[in-house]
């Protein structure tokens, strides 16, 4: 019989530094941390499948009301305008901001819905102890799309919009805003109760006596990496397989196996350079246009921040400054530091650099904040001749920066830093030859 306690002897390796660890099952409510780089390897949640099932069902029931019901109405000088999430996307399409509309649609509607559907089906089947082959595809979809669903950022965008407009318009709140807030809470709850390692092991539905799990294998040997032990970690499901399977499909999830992410340094450089190029128009060109009595006034990201500071909204000004300027610049600078120092040298600050990488990967999504605020304002403030708000060209460039920096964090493989800074020269040869693949 399959249970959460049958995996005591399975080897695992750290996705961030490749350290080989004995795959001890952590006690319930505990997280397993990598002793070398501090990465959270996995956390145990009691009844993870059932909790995920209940939460994803709740999320699905709430999804369409949250997206379709009006969020709020703005009233000013006898004009009124209401908006829901879908309208904020359609409006961007109608105004030819396709790239921005696609980014907002993906991050606020399409991927959150796909995630909820996928995890509902997976947890339902696992709960019923049924293991159809498509579960692998669905759970892979969940793992890959998770990062691109950003409804919590959209909720912060709604709050910023309210604070921005509360002094100049009367705001009437509708049921949509409560459904959407509840949807965000449910989605965040799913990410805390889901035990991905257990899900994968259950989907695989067989005892973990695969070839990676040799008795007396080097898990207890300090600082042995998976690569040195002839093992390869799957990026998607974190299963260890023999190195002979490189460039072939993972036996568990079918994802292609690479000893390190393919061409990690060159791909990340390309994306970082793209981000740097588009950061200029994103910050120098206007991102929003306000038409007041037929006179258009365009403002850049910085103008918007200065506006908040001039009107004593320091907290909002600081949040927008952090999300729109500080985060993209920090991401680009941080990734350049990681790329430049990922070469054979003294192993300095490896743990700190890996922590910085994880922080860069975590904060990327919050840059979409200003875009969500603009998407909402364009629908909520459309009072005919009196005043209306529109997106301006920098919005497109800004979306490209967000997408490119997020992709750069995904393509960068932090294990390369550990490989290249390792003291054993044989390791350098081993890894550099894998890099060429
Ligand atoms: Zn580690
Ligand atoms: Zn896999």
* pLDDT, tens digit (0-9, with 9 covering 90-100), for 302-324: 998 998 888 888 888 898 899 89
Average confidence (pLDDT) over 191-201: 91
Query: What is the arithmetic mean of pLDDT over 280-299?
Result: 90
| CA of 233 relative to ligand 2 center, distance in Å | 8
- The tens digit of pLDDT for each residue in 333-366 reads 999 999 988 776 656 788 899 999 999 999 988 9
CA angle 405, 32, 343 (to 5 degrees): 45
What is the arithmetic mean of pLDDT over 287-304?
89
pTM reported for the whole predicted model: 0.86
Binned at pLDDT 50, 70 and 90, residue 223 comes out as confident
Ligand 1 mean position, distance from CA 240 (Å): 15
User: From CA 45, how far away is CA 32, in angstroms rounded?
Assistant: 12
**What's the pLDDT at 222?**
63
- What letter would DSSP give residue 236? T
Note the ligand closest to the C-alpha atom of 200.
Answer: 2
Angle formed at CA 98 by CA 93 and CA 103, multiple of 5 degrees:
105
With a CB cutoff of 8 Å and minimum separation 6, the contacts of 272 are 332, 335, 336, 339, 404, 405, 408
Q: Over 50: is that where the pLDDT of 232 sits? A: yes
Residue 427, number of CB atoms within 10 A of its CB: 17
Ligand nearest to the CA of 251: 2
Query: For residue 12, what pLDDT is reported?
Result: 86
Q: pLDDT band at residue 387, thresholds of 50, 70 and 90?
A: confident
pLDDT value of position 213: 39
Check if the beta carbon of residue 79 is closer than 8 Å to that of residue 154.
Answer: no
Tell me what percent of the residues of the chain surpass a pLDDT of 70.
Answer: 88
Ligand 1 centroid vs 413 CA: distance in angstroms? 12
**pLDDT band with cut points at 50, 70 and 90 for residue 424:** very low
pLDDT on residue 295: 87
pLDDT computed for residue 24 by the predictor: 65
Which residues line ion ligand 1, judged by CB < 5 Å? Answer: 14, 16-17, 19, 34, 36-37, 39
- Give residue 227's pLDDT band: very low, low, confident or very high (50, 70, 90): confident
Residue 241 CA to ligand 2 centre (angstroms): 9
Cα 245 to Cα 80: distance, rounded to the nearest angstrom: 62
Of residues 39 and 22, more confidence is placed in 39
Order of all β-strands in the sheet with 170-173: 79-83, 72-76, 170-173
Of the pLDDT bands very low, low, confident and very high (cuts 50, 70, 90), residue 26 is: low
Nearest Cα to Cα of residue 326 among 257, 382, 405 = 405
Task: Tell me the CA–centroid distance for residue 366 and ligand 1, in Å.
Answer: 25
pLDDT, tens digit, for every residue of 270-283? 999 999 999 999 99
| pLDDT band for position 371 (cuts 50, 70, 90) | very high
3-state secondary structure at position 310 = helix
Check whether 165 has a pLDDT greater than 50: yes
Mean pLDDT along residues 88-101:
91
Tell me how far the alpha carbon of residue 359 lies from the centroid of ligand 1, in angstroms: 15
Q: How confident is the model at residue 25 (pLDDT cuts 50, 70, 90)?
A: low
Q: Is a pLDDT exceeding 90 seen at residue 218?
A: no
**What is the whole-number distance in angstroms between the Cα of residue 404 and the centre of ligand 1?**
26
| C-alpha 240 – ligand 2 centre gap (Å) | 8
Q: Which-ligand-closest: CA of 225?
A: 1
Percent of the chain with pLDDT over 90: 51
Ligand nearest to the CA of 19: 1
Residue 92 has pLDDT above 70, yes or no: yes
CA of residue 177 to ligand 2 center, whole Å: 38
Q: What is the pLDDT of residue 2?
A: 35
- In sequence order, what DSSP letters do the residues of 156-196 get, joined into one string? HHHHHHHHHHTTTSEEEE-HHHHHHHHHHHHHHHHHHH--H
The whole-chain average pLDDT of the chain stands at: 85
Helix (H) or strand (E) segment spanning residue 100: helix 98-105
Which of 7-11, 62-66, 166-170, 415-419 has the weakest average pLDDT? 7-11
Decide: 100 and 391 in contact? Cβ < 8 Å: yes
pLDDT score of 139 = 95
Residue 8: both structure tokens together: 């005591």
Tokens in use for 282? Answer: 């994103």
**Closest ligand (CA of 15):** 1
CA 261–ligand 2 middle distance (angstroms): 14
Task: Please determine, for residue 117, whether its predicted confidence score (pLDDT) is greater than 60.
Answer: yes
pLDDT, tens digit, 9 for 90 and up, residues 126-146: 999 998 989 999 999 999 999
Q: Which residue has the tokens 């807030």?
A: 181
User: Quick one: pLDDT at residue 274?
Assistant: 97
pLDDT at 4 over 70: no
In the predicted model, is pLDDT for residue 393 greater than 90?
yes
Q: What is the pLDDT of residue 9?
A: 41
Q: Where are the domains of the chain?
A: 11-435
- What was the pLDDT predicted at 431? 34
Q: How far is the CA of 353 from the centre of ligand 1 (A)?
A: 12
Structure tokens at 104: 């907002």
Residue 235 CA, ligand 2 centroid: distance in Å: 7
Name 128's Cβ contacts closer than 8 Å, sequence gap at least 6.
Answer: none
pLDDT confidence band for 214 (50 / 70 / 90):
very low
pLDDT score for 206: 53
Q: Do residues 14 and 39 touch, judged by C-beta distance below 8 A? A: yes
């Amino acid at each position: 019989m399959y249970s959460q306690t049958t995996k005591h002897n399975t080897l695992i390796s750290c996705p961030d530094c490749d350290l080989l660890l004995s795959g001890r099952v952590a006690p319930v409510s505990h997280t397993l941390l990598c002793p070398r780089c501090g990465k959270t390897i996995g956390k145990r949640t009691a009844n993870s499948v059932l909790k995920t099932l209940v939460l994803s069902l709740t999320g699905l029931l709430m999804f369409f009301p949250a997206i379709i019901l009006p969020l709020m109405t703005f009233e000013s000088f006898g004009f009124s305008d209401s908006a829901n999430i879908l309208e904020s996307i359609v409006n961007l399409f109608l105004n030819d901001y396709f790239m921005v509309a696609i980014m907002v649609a993906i991050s606020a509607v399409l991927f959150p819905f796909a995630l909820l559907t996928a995890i509902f089906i997976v947890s339902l089947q696992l709960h019923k102890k049924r293991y159809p082959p498509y579960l692998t595809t669905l759970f892979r979809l969940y793992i890959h799309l998770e990062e691109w669903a950003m409804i919590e950022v959209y909720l912060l965008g709604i709050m910023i919009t309210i604070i921005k407009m509360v002094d100049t318009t009367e705001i009437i709140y509708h049921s949509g805003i409560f459904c959407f807030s509840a949807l965000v809470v449910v989605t965040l709850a799913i990410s805390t109760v889901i035990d991905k390692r257990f899900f994968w092991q259950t989907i695989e539905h067989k005892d973990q006596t695969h070839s990676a799990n040799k008795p007396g294998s080097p898990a207890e040997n300090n600082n042995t990496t998976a690569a040195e032990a002839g093992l390869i970690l799957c990026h998607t499901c974190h299963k260890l397989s023999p190195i002979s399977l490189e460039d072939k499909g993972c036996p568990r999830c079918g994802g292609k196996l690479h000893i390190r992410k393919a061409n990690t340094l060159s791909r990340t450089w390309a994306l970082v350079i793209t981000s740097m190029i588009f950061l200029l128009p994103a910050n120098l060109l206007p991102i929003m246009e306000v038409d007041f009595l037929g006179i258009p006034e365009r403002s850049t990201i910085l103008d918007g921040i200065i506006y908040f500071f001039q009107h004593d909204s320091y907290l909002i000004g600081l949040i927008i400054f952090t999300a729109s300027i500080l985060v993209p610049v920090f991401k680009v600078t941080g990734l350049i530091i990681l790329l430049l120092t990922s070469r054979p040298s003294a192993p300095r600050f490896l743990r700190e650099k890996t922590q910085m990488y994880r922080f860069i990967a975590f904060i990327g999504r919050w840059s979409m904040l200003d875009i969500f605020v603009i998407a909402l304002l364009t629908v909520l403030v459309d009072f005919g001749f009196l005043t209306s708000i529109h997106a301006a060209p920098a919005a497109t460039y800004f979306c490209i920066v967000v997408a490119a920096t997020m992709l750069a964090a995904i393509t960068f493989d932090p294990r390369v830093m550990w490989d290249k800074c390792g003291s054993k020269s044989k390791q350098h040869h081993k890894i550099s030859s894998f890099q060429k693949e």
